[in-house]
Structure 1
């Protein structure tokens, strides 16, 4: 289990490194380079629009790779999704800017971001299911949380490289070529991930399936559509909180508050370290007390913390911004640490790869794709403190809270062993 969990963690870290590198670049530099004829606000919105395309592609990737996972096994998904995401990320680092090839530049950026999203949409389902279906029932939450640590590691890798480049290069050097380095590094990381995953065994639960679904997505739509919609709505706040902190706040802090890139990246990265460290702790609580109570607690905490978070961000003070980001990400991981066990348990094994991944990634469209765009537009028309952004995030938290309330508990209940009476 340790070797399997480590390989899953490493793989998701690499895939999400690719995904987050784009998000950080969109917040810091892509607007002026690929949309120079736009105003600063419009350029940022356009860059976040290409960022959102990756989320739109993720449910499609779930359908495509989910079909492969439910028909051929979880293991092939891990290899194919990693290849697609790695290749498209390296290609992003090679795209000429608007000044060189004109409108072809943002079009190419859009296509490559779409391919990135397809790959990440397949990655989560394969990595989580391979771990969850190997894990013992009483510790499924803990072992399944390892792939959930991967996004934090990927974020730290991507932003660590960005931070080092931002601190060591001039603004002109960073805009000219520095921002491309994290994308080029994705090629080496993808090769390492493929090597780690080459020896993984197929899920025993998949091997037990006698009648794999012929058309998994059609079966999910026909028999599990309500569950997919509820899980998508439930997960929306997690995505909204995470990308409000890690993407929108970078643009808001640097453009509106005048805080340096280095300070903003440091504050966000420090909060992500706390979030990553707490992931197995929250997963253990999910094994002990149930998946649903942790999700309800995380949603409630999110609803209560969004206004304080934007107020702390608006101060522009590093320690206060870090406090605001940390509180938000603790609420986030209270939910998402148990999601890797919760979602697969909601679906029957024969359509689990498709159903769990589609629900997970549709939540990304609702929360992750829209939040940077909506938050940027709302903040532009407010005062120094973007209260409208806090209201928007609170509303999503309440929606997700209602969806979680309608989902069942799935934590396996230990079966008591009754000793036979002698005589």
Structure 2
């Protein structure tokens, strides 16, 4: 989990290829007989629609058709997920609960039930496994699937996506959207095009032009801060990004420059990686105004710690090492870490460590433009044994 400005890890930037795939099979109505074999993969990105909130509306008929937020309604609460009825009022995940209630006075807060969400996610994963073993979960509610070769031998990837979405609806009662393309970057973008309860295809013929027309702020891996920086550099669309040489992008964006260079051309060589071990969970935010005061910094850390803890709950993991990331106005970056004897058992313990680390750097002589929280030294809750774990600092 990230704050949105960190691009995915990338390789050398060569196109994603797999011998024997056929570009026609990711088009609507395409068949394997329509063209010669091509080197393109067939990737599906499945994304559940308002997953947590939809589960709550499914299980409680009184919530259906009403604006629902999963999360705490207390003053320090944060929205974990919002139904589409709530989104119409501008309620989004990570929004402070008090702000969400102000935007939507009739908003109904429901406490999260992560054990239920994990159980439903397991049902969905089983449906994926009916088609392919190449499944890369990104969270409980979304995953990449490589269906270039699949268990049923179905040539058309859009058909597989339709079958998966229909099966998810029948088994769970929930709606899913899907994006189909020849690489992960475009498949993820495609899954947002016809939400909710739809799917969209970006074919190899469409890919480059589609990316050129897309605003860079909609690129996966380009968060608000990076989008603002690109805008200052005259980069607002994929075409603007494509026009910049690799050296320019590396100069201004460091190692991320190569990633931006290739995705501007619709190229993403990352394979679908099943069961990739998670090494850390993190969240960060860049501020519109630099922070100089300790209390203001503490306030900004609260939603970051909440994001990290929600991810831990969702994935059934805990961690022992908390790292605070600080980036100053002059872009100098420092980190401070603390490792505890046993994993943190609730959000307040992560907050307490973050605050202790934060206090070490105050008072500051220059403003803070970014704060981040990362939890590492992870273990699954099932591996931790029974009993109440207590934090030893």
Shared fold (TM-score, shorter chain, > 0.5) = no
Structure having the larger proportion of residues in strand: 2
TM-score under structure 2 length normalisation? 0.28
Q: Which has the higher contact order (CA 8 A, sep 6+)?
A: 1
Structure having the larger proportion of residues in helix: 1
